[in-house]
């Protein structure tokens, strides 16, 4: 499942946001979540398609796709040098798929800003610098080992590639650039760096924590979007997110609408996270459960089956497939079949988001 690490300076609203995302009372009834550790929360992604499917199939349970959020203590300037303390915090997000930076835009005289006044551009720079320094530290530690491995396994082409990628990565980082931007540009094969769990290889998503009355300020949003482009920007008010988490679906929709918003922070983060990482969901449904499964865009039917169980992939025969819209249009699986909307897809079939699937397989 998609995992997102939350970073940012202290007092920008990270904990407020994390708590809102992971302690959602309204969702809890239908969407299970679990707090694995105090700073790790698994959250069901709101998906109205599942409610519709559960209605059509009489499903007893809904199991949504999930996003795992990992919160770390605030990063301050110099965190990467701080006797390994900063780096220990950063270790919590080494395994995540993407890094979400929370940036403070809200003004509040009662909440001090660690660097004085509000300045998104400076704060982003501070955080990026610490992430870059942390990666440089990791590389400094790893390089002697990597070059020894490359030397002693001279025939092992892969060890040589890892070493070369690590050396190239050091250069990019030394120029003050994160690897996600500078890496591909500098011709580094990022896949070779995977074993090092570097932070700036991961895509960044920027969350701006705004004052409530700034939420609908298009000019401000455009300015901040531009600041982080081509990365994605999300705009929310962490305090509103905390309120949304206490409301039921209808009340939450009403509150959002009154603020000129259409999506909660969780929905935005899930949508942007899935898009940034090239993920999509397909659906299965029956009397037991209606369920969303996370797969890569471009995944084939057997690969999609493998997410349910490796046996499904190995013994894959066919995927009985109908698009969500066609199924809903027909009203039932039987009607969709009668209308010729249900296809038998084979091994080469490339999945679409919202495919409703039943796999046929040999065990």
Binding residue positions for ATP: 11-16
User: Which of 197, 150, 204, 161 is closest to 182 using CA atoms?
Assistant: 204
* 119 DSSP 8-state letter: -
286/141 Cα distance (integer angstroms): 52
Exactly one of 47, 130, 237, 355 binds ligand GDP (CB under 6 A); which one?
Answer: 237
Residue 290 CB coordination number (10 Å): 27
Contact flag: residue 361 with ligand GDP (CB under 6 A): no
**Shortest distance, CB of residue 133 to ligand GDP, whole angstroms?**
20
Q: Which of 29, 60, 111, 216 binds ligand GDP (CB under 6 A)?
A: 111
- Using the contact rule CB under 6 A, the part of the chain among 9-17, 181-189, 272-280, 299-307 near ligand GDP is 9-17
Q: How far is the CB of 214 from ligand GDP (least distance, A)?
A: 10
Q: Which residues contact 73 (CB under 8 A, 6 or more apart)?
A: 10, 89
Does 113 help bind ligand GDP (rule: CB under 6 A)?
Answer: no
Q: Judge if the upstream peptide bond of residue 230 is cis by omega within 30 degrees of 0.
A: yes
Q: Which residues lie below 8 Å from residue 20, measured CB to CB, with a gap of 6+?
A: 238, 241, 242, 244, 245, 265, 266
Nearer to ligand GDP, 239 or 341 (CB): 239
Task: List, as residue ranges, the binding site.
Answer: 11-16
CB closer to ligand GDP, 76 vs 307: 76
Among residues 2, 4, 7, 12, which is the contact residue for ligand GDP, using CB under 6 A? 12
Kindly report the backbone phi and psi dihedral angles of residue 305, in degrees, each rounded to the nearest multiple of 5, phi listed first: -65, -35
Pick the closer one to ligand GDP by CB: 34 or 111. Answer: 111
Binding string, residues 15-44; x marks residues near ligand GDP by CB under 6 A: xx----------------------------
Residues 63-92 that bind ligand GDP (CB under 6 A): 74
CB of 103 to ligand GDP, least distance (A): 10
Distance between CA 285 and CA 50 in Å, rounded? 8
Interface of this chain with ligand GDP, residues 88 to 107, rule: CB under 6 A: 106
Q: How far is the CB of 126 from ligand GDP (least distance, A)?
A: 13
Shortest spacing between CB 130 and ligand GDP, in angstroms: 15
User: Per CB under 6 A, does 13 bind ligand GDP?
Assistant: yes
Task: Verify binding: residue 238, ligand GDP, rule CB under 6 A.
Answer: yes
Q: How far is CA 310 from CA 67, 216, 262, 316, 343, in A?
A: 22, 46, 38, 10, 23
Residues 6 or more apart whose CB falls under 8 angstroms from that of 239 comprise: 13, 16, 212
What Rg do the C-alpha atoms of the chain give, in angstroms?
23
The whole-angstrom separation of Cα 106 and Cα 209 is 6
Rounded CA separation 196/193 (Å): 6
Task: Candidates 33-41, 236-244, 258-266, 334-342: pick the segment binding ligand GDP (CB under 6 A).
Answer: 236-244
Binding part of the chain for ligand GDP, among 144-152, 226-234, 235-243, 295-303 by CB under 6 A, reads: 235-243
- Find where tokens 């610098």 sit: 129
Chosen residue from 101, 180, 209, 280 binding ligand GDP by CB under 6 A: 209
Residues that bind ligand GDP (CB under 6 A): 8, 10-16, 74, 106, 108, 111, 209, 237-239
């Amino acid at each position: 499942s998609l995992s997102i690490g939350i970073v940012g300076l202290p007092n920008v609203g990270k904990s407020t946001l994390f708590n809102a995302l992971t302690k959602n009372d309204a969702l809890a009834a239908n969407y299970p979540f679990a707090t694995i550790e105090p700073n790790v929360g698994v959250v069901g992604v709101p998906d109205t398609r599942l409610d519709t499917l559960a209605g059509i199939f009489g499903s007893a349970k809904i199991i949504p796709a999930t996003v795992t959020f990992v919160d770390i203590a605030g990063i301050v300037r110099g965190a990467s040098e701080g006797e390994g303390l900063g780096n220990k915090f950063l270790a919590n997000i080494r395994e995540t798929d993407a890094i979400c930076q929370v940036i403070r835009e809200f003004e509040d005289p009662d909440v001090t800003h660690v660097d004085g006044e509000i300045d998104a551009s400076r704060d982003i720079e501070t955080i990026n610098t610490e992430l870059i320094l942390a990666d440089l530290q990791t590389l400094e530690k790893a390089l002697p080992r990597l070059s020894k491995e490359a030397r002693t396994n001279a025939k092992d082409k892969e060890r040589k590639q890892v070493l070369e990628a690590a050396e190239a990565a050091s250069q990019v980082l030394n120029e003050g650039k994160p690897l996600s931007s500078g890496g591909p540009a500098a011709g580094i094969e990022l896949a070779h760096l995977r074993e090092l769990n570097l932070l700036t290889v991961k895509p960044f998503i920027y969350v701006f924590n705004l004052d409530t009355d700034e939420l609908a300020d298009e000019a401000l949003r455009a300015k901040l979007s531009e600041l982080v482009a081509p990365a994605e920007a999300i705009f929310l008010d962490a305090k509103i997110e905390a309120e949304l988490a206490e409301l039921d679906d209808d009340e939450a929709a009403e509150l959002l609408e009154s603020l000129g918003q259409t999506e909660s922070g969780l929905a935005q983060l899930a949508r942007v996270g899935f898009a940034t990482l090239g993920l999509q969901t397909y659906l299965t449904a029956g009397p037991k459960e209606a369920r969303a499964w996370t797969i890569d865009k471009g995944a084939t039917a057997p690969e999609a089956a493998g997410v349910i169980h490796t046996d499904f992939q190995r013994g894959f025969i066919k995927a009985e497939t109908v698009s969500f819209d066609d199924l809903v249009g027909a009203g039932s699986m039987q009607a969709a079949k009668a209308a010729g909307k249900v296809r038998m897809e084979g091994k080469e079939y490339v999945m679409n988001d919202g495919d409703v699937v039943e796999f046929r397989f040999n065990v």
